[in-house]
Every structure is written in structure tokens, then in C-alpha cells.
Chain A
Amino acid sequence: MGKDSILQAIRQNKPAGRPLPEIPIFPGREITPTEQFIKMAETGGSQILRAAHVQEINAMLKNLFPEARNIASPVPEITSTINLEEIQSPLELEQVDVAVIRGHLGVAENGAVWLTESACRHRILPFITQHLMLLIPETSIVPTLHDAYRNIRINDEGFGIFIAGPSKTADIEQALVIGAQGARSLTIILTAF
């Protein structure tokens, strides 16, 4: 009843057909995508580092999070303390201190990184972890969201997300607080591999 009556009302009330506009290609910026990405990501509260080899990441983790006890990563080269393949319920990930995940691409205009479900192994991982580290190839950075959507297929997997910084809120008197419900920090590693 709901569906038919709603669609019926829409058909009766909708205006005459209007064409769907084309999205043009917008001119590029003077600043390079990588420079802009770093600038925007840092403005959004992310920390940017570079790595030439995947093995460097383990050392970085020790440096950045010396206190971390539980490290979870679907990236095989990362030394994890949790075997994500054995996790039955997402609730078991509540104690994760640091998660390391591969991103698919970076967006220069907002410092966001696209990740997919398969790269996270569990959808909850980038949110429930206290600290998040994302790896993206420096060459993957595109200038705008338009470019990003041309380079990904949002329904390839059941879930995909752009993450543009650590979880934040300004709900108390507009004061910016980092670390609301999701990860308290975001470190993005621009990789050469």
C-alpha cells in the first residue's frame, strides 16, 4: 500500500521532465595534488608521513605508539597482535589500540582516503580502533572528489568510506575536540610502494 500510493502521488504531482546536467571537467589548480593533499589532511587533523618500503611501517608503529598493546592489520607485512581472520564478532575488536589499513586513493581537495570493506577485513576496524593508520601510494592522489568518483566504483563492495581525519566534534560551544566516537588520531603514510 505504502509504495504504490507514494509512487502514485509522485506521478500525479511531479513537474515536467528536466534534463540531467553534465558534470564538466573543472580546470586544475596550480598546487600539485600531493601538496594540496598534505595541506588539507593536516588542516583536518591528520598526520602525514612517508615510507619507501612497507617494512618501515613496523618501526614507525613502535615510534608513534610505544604503549600500544593491540595492533590489528589486514596488511600481511605488518606485525599484528590480533589475527583478524579469527575474529567472529566485531565486538571482539573493542580493545584494538592501532589499526593499519591500506587505502585505495587519496583526495587532494579534502585530505580524504577511500577504503573498502575488504581492505579493512572488518567494517568496524577503522572506527573502533583507538588510533588509525592508513597507507596510500603517493601516486594514487587525485585532485577532487569528481576525480575520486571516476576512479572508484562505490558498489564494488558492500561498504566503502572516505575518511578525512580523526573523529571529531564541536558540539560543545563549537570547541573542536579530536576523538569523539571513532579513532582518536589518523596517521596517513604516503607510500612509494
Chain B
Amino acid sequence: MIDHAEKAAEFIRDEPRTDWHDESLWFIRHKRDKASQDVPEWEQLRELASGIKDNVLSELDHYLEQFEANALQNGVQVHWATDAAEHNRIVHSILKKHGVSRMVKSKSMLTEECHLNDFLAEQGIEVVDTDLGERIIQLREEPPSHIVLPAIHLKKEEIGALFHEKLQTREGATDPGYLTEAARGHLRQKFVEAQAALTGVNFAIAETGGVVVCTNEGNADMGVHLAPVQIHCMGIEKIIPKAEHLGVFIRLLARSATGQPSTIYTAHHHRPRPGAEMHIVIVDNGRSAQLGRSDFRNSLKCIRCGACMNTCPIYRRSGGHSYGYTIPGPIGSILTPGIDLKAYSDLPFASTLCGSCSDVCPVKINIHEQLFRWRQIIAQEGYLPSGKKRALAWFGKIMARPAWFRFTGKVARLALRILPRPFLYNRFNEWGKARELPEAPRESFQEWYKKNRR
């Protein structure tokens, strides 16, 4: 089970580093604000995007069939995977057919979700992540801490040391320009050697049977246009109906993600290049089940911009790894309970329900309301810690009985006034570890009212 509170406390122990992490992400949130303000119709676009996705979810089967038919027509090979294991087997079978032993990959949260790299490594296939941030964490053998900025938790000194060890850069070198140049050289070699290239998918267009992939570095294109086999892996929810809808989503995506008006590269793939093969793997892995949960289905609208992470005051101060899942932050906290309610029962409580995530979301997912709803299900299924459950049951009884409420309140205030400090501030008092308890007045408002107004 994930203990978010414990992991967060560990993260915060280094307070200057926590501040640095918080400021880095707040800076991106701020850039997002400015970029969104440059678009007068921003709020209208969010509404449109949400509406288009509503339609997609309500006709997802038709759109997927239309997409497949058009992709086949385009000469693309289409595969369907019910779960992660099937997805991994499909990718492996494509690679095996072509005798591939080296593959390059651009960012794909789906393949992270399916643990594709580990699976292929076991089959003796080398997978190289080619997005710089992804490559950094791959060399460190750790998962990404953010879906758009995978290495946002690392300092340049740490990356410098890593590159010195793995890529033979100068010892002590920390200049981002120098380190990026070293990675460029290293990755160019990998691109040239690769026998296959795999990418994620930002949007799949039903009407045309093509996929759109957005990057800033150009790594996805370097991969797929050099290798003889190109593979795109997509969740079923990546479908949009028509090409014209790309206008809406691409206007929102990068502005929400990093505050850029668009990513540097927005690639539209429809047919294999002459002499090469193009495959698309369509993956369910729990998504159709989420579609059946009416309170939670619109989490499937997510376009993976990461804005909810950048804005979340808890994510910024606990880091992506504290969530224990590929997709951290607010959106991760509403996706994970549907995957394993018990294992991730902590995450919907890792929130103050401040609502910033829902208001920043470019497709208007009501994230904080879904967190509230997951909490109800977690409690109903009996996954609340037992002490908490008992306390809540008592609280409920007291609040329905005015005389009990008055009595308990009076006793509590009295205790606060007369008990010596060690009785009040001890290891059982989570409030009091770094905060004073409120000063207890002799009279409650109700007592005052009785004396002064009746």
C-alpha cells in the first residue's frame, strides 16, 4: 500500500529542496497562466474540448472501429490489447518478426503503465528512451516523477554526475547546455543503430485513421523516420472524431503543459514510409471499466498535459514518486483507485480538495469532485484505517445529537485550558507537532447567545 503521508514527510525533510521543487513547478504553472491569457477564447476552448470528449466517450466503439478501418486503408497494421500483458506481447511479436534487438522509444506514459521496458529487457531487447528527461531517469533506473517533465525532481549536479558516469562527460560539469549536447551525441548514435522506433500517441483521428505525436525535442521523429519499423501505442481514449478537432486540443495542450503556444513538433502520421512498416497498438488496460463508472468516466478525457500536477500544492511539495504510480498528482489520484482500490486507497486523501486542478484542467475534468467520490467508495469498502473509522463514527453520532455536541465541546475546551502541555502535545497529536491548538474560550457561541440574546 502507498503511504503518501509518510513519503511526503520524507520529501519535505529537505526543506530548501522542497522549496526549489515547488518553485520550479509554480514557475511552469505561471507560464501556463500567461499563455492561456493570450488566447481570448480560452475558456470557450476548454468547454469545447470537454464537450468533444463527452461525445467521444459516448460513441467510443464507433470511433475506434472507424479509426481502425481508415488506418487499415492507409496501410497501417492495427493491433488490439485488452491489458498490459497483451500489449507487451504484441509489441514483442512485432519486434521478433523483424529480428529487432535495439529499439528507441519516445515518451509514452502508456508503455510506462504497461512496464514495457522491463518486459522487453527480459526478452533481450535493448530499449532506449530518447526524450532527454526520460533518458536521464532510465539511466538512473527510476520511474518518471512527472508525465511531461520526467526528471523535474533532479538537480543539474545529480544529472552531471550521472552523465559523467554513464556518458563520460567531464567530472563536475553541470551546465545544462553541455549536458544536453552530450546527450544529443549519445542519442544520435542510438537513433542510427535502432531497428525499430516506438512512440506514444497524443491524438488518434477516427476520420482519417492517423495519429498525432507532439514533442519539443524531435526525438519521436528522429526515431520513426530512421527505423524500418514504426510502432505507435495508444489508449482507447486517445480518439478524437475529426481533423478539425485537433485545432481545439493542440491549442490547449502545450499552453496547459509548459506555457508554450504549441510544442515544437506536431507530427501527423498516416501511412508507413515507402519500404517501412507502421503499426498501431490500441490498448484498453482498465479503461473500458473506468468508462462504466459514471462518477469517474470523465477522467478518460485527460490529454496528459500535467497542468494538474504543476498547480497542485501537494504534488509540488511531495514530488511525483510519493504517489507510487506512473501518473502522479491529482489525475493519478483519480485513475489509480479504479486500478487497485486497496493499494491506492491513500491517494484520494492526498488532497485538500482545493479545486485548483479542476479549474486548470484544459478538458474540465472535475478532479477534486472525483477525489471526494473516491473517498466515499474507499470508506464503504472498508479501506479506511480502523482508528480513523471509529473516530468518524463517533463524530457522526455526536453531530446528530445537540446535547452530546454541547457536552463534548465543553469537555474539550476545558481539557485544552487545564491540562498541562505534555498531555496535549504528544506523539498522538498530529495537529500539535508544528501548530498550536486553538485557545479555548470559556464560553461557546451558543452559551454566549443564551446569556445575551434570550
Contacts and interface: CB of A to CB of B under 8 A. Distances in A.
A16 interface: yes
B24 interface: yes
B177 interface: yes
Q: Which of B86, B265, B270: most chain A CB closer than 10 A?
A: B265
Interface size, A (range): 35 or more
B17 to A, nearest CB: 12
Contacts of A177: 176-177, 180
B220 to A, nearest CB: 9
A9 B289 CA distance: 7
Contacts, number: 260
B61 to A, nearest CB: 4
B213 to A, nearest CB: 9
Interface residues of B, number: 95
Contacts of B130: 181
Given A168-B216, A169-B180, A179-B181, A162 B61 contact: no
A158 B264 contact: no
Nearest to B180: A177
A164 B219 CA distance: 15
B33 interface: no
B248 A181 contact: no
B271 A159 contact: yes
Interface string A147-161: 011100111011111
A1 B241 CA distance: 25
A55 B176 CA distance: 39
A19 B50 CA distance: 12
A48 interface: no
Nearest to B86: A2
Interface string B203-237: 00100111000001111011001100000000010
Interface string B16-47: 00000000100110000000000111001000
B243 A153 contact: yes
A91 interface: yes
Interface of A (DSSP majority class): loop
Contacts of A16: 58
A24 B44 CA distance: 10
A163 interface: yes
A183 B221 CA distance: 11
A185 B101 CA distance: 33
20 contacts: A2-B81, A15-B58, A15-B291, A18-B55, A20-B55, A23-B244, A43-B261, A90-B225, A123-B225, A159-B225, A160-B268, A164-B261, A173-B156, A174-B24, A174-B152, A175-B156, A179-B180, A181-B217, A181-B218, A181-B219
Given A10-B64, A162-B266, 13 more contacts: A7-B65, A18-B57, A27-B40, A123-B273, A153-B243, A155-B243, A161-B221, A164-B263, A172-B154, A179-B184, A180-B183, A181-B187, A181-B219
